[in-house]
């Protein structure tokens, strides 16, 4: 079965973007194989804020289905993606049941919180960058809901980046 | 020279205590040598909130000098510790210059933020517990100040706890 995986760069103090949405703190890691990572997914799910940031940065995802969770974006103005509003839970559930490569939860913390609450997240895979940001966009939006994890792998890179992978306890096998 | 080290258990989303100051989420890790950890320090520095929590839990630190950063606690009511108020920066700077074992920054995030701003923290050593808390007391109080770190060691424990150690960039050698 395909998995929904939250793969994201994160500061040691738990932020996925700076207070002004900046990403300039993410260190270069030449030994990390981004191509191999991208090749594991055919579908990407992201929140509206993440979408606006990556879109403004000119990032595109050729050959992948991109779902943007938003109740305010208008589909006809964003033909390159699939805008999903109220029906988000049902749509993600359906996609997760379909055959295919894994689904990449690309960001951010609000969407992660919702999907986690619905039991739709299989793994959490933060790449911890050696920096403290002292503020910004949290890895997980404040929800008050605890979630036990199971560490399944770890890898340390020359830059000091630590890639951790966890299985969400209670997620399907 | 002795070091001031922030050694603390932390959730994957960057909290050192739950929203009600709880610590029950910190998993048992029988293979972790707490005695060896304690033996590296002769001085402990903590914030007032951390002190009240550990004191209420009955935790004492025999044989160690314990400094509590607080402008409200009255020294005569807490003879077992040294209460330091306005003169915190000077006092910690002085202790750090003295010979001795390392100084343990025991918590919490507010005190860490202050000491980091004053350039008095040498290392950050979080033990990342495999859990998401979705809220609580942050590892680092929101300060907006970025701090680059250098990964110096990592160790993975059977429970899934990941102990990371970082040198604060720019801290003295």
| Per-residue model confidence (pLDDT) at position A172 | 66
Which positions in chain B touch A112 (Cβ < 8 Å)? none
Decide if A7 touches B, using CB distance below 8 A.
no
Q: Are A118 and A147 in contact (CB under 8 A)?
A: no
Q: First and final CA of chain A: distance in angstroms?
A: 9
Decide if B147 touches A, using CB distance below 8 A.
yes
pTM of the model: 0.95
Does domain A4-21+34-145+152-160 match CATH 3.40.430.10?
A: yes
| Per-residue model confidence (pLDDT) at position B107 | 92
**What is the assigned CATH class of domain B4-9+33-128?**
alpha beta
* Residue ranges per structural domain of chain B: 4-9+33-128
Q: Are B33 and B27 in contact (CB under 8 A)?
A: no
pLDDT, tens digit (0-9, with 9 covering 90-100), for B37-93 = 999 999 999 999 999 989 988 888 999 999 999 999 999 999 999 999 999 999 999
DSSP string of A135-165, one letter each residue: SSEESS------EEEEEEEEEE-TTS-EEEE
Q: What is the ipTM of this complex?
A: 0.95
Give per-residue burial for A56-73: e unless 16+ CB within 10 Å, then b: eeeeebeeeebbbbbeeb
Distance CA B44, CA B7 (A): 11
Residues 6+ apart with CB under 8 A from A9: A16, A23, A26, A126, A127, A129
Q: Which helix (H) or strand (E) holds A66?
A: strand A65-69
Query: Above 90 in pLDDT, residue A17?
Result: yes
CB contact under 8 A, B128 and A164: yes
Query: Could you say which of B134, B140, B149 has the minimum Cβ distance to residue A130?
Result: B149
| Per-residue model confidence (pLDDT) at position B172 | 66
Query: Could you say which of B135, B145, B149 has the minimum Cβ distance to residue A12?
Result: B149
Query: Could you say which of A18, A139, A164 has the minimum Cβ distance to residue B13?
Result: A139
The candidate with the shortest Cα–Cα distance to A106, out of A141, A66, A72, A156, is A66
Decide if A39 touches B, using CB distance below 8 A.
no
φ/ψ of A132, rounded to 5, equals: -105, 130
pLDDT, tens digit (0-9, with 9 covering 90-100), for A137-165 = 999 998 878 999 999 999 999 999 999 99
Return the SS3 of A45: strand
pLDDT, tens digit (0-9, with 9 covering 90-100), for B80-120 = 999 999 999 999 999 999 999 999 999 999 999 999 999 99
% of residues, chain A, pLDDT over 90:
86
The candidate with the shortest Cα–Cα distance to A116, out of A41, A5, A2, A16, is A5
């Amino acid at each position: 079965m395909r998995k929904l995986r939250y793969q994201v760069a994160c500061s040691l103090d738990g932020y996925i973007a700076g207070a002004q949405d900046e990403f300039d703190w993410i260190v270069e890691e030449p030994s990390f194989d981004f191509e191999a990572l991208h090749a594991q997914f055919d579908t990407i799910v992201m929140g509206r804020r993440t979408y606006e940031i990556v879109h403004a940065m000119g990032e595109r995802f050729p050959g992948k289905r991109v779902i943007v969770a938003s109740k305010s974006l208008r589909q006809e103005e964003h033909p390159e993606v699939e805008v999903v509003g109220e029906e988000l839970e049902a749509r993600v559930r359906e996609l997760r049941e379909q055959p295919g490569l894994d689904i990449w939860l690309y960001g951010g913390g609000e969407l992660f919180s919702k999907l986690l609450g619905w039991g739709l997240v299989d793994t959490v895979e933060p790449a911890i960058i050696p920096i403290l940001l002292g503020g910004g966009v949290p890895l997980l939006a404040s929800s008050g809901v605890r979630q036990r994890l199971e560490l399944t792998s770890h890898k340390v890179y020359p830059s000091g980046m630590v890639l951790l992978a966890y299985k969400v306890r209670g997620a399907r096998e």
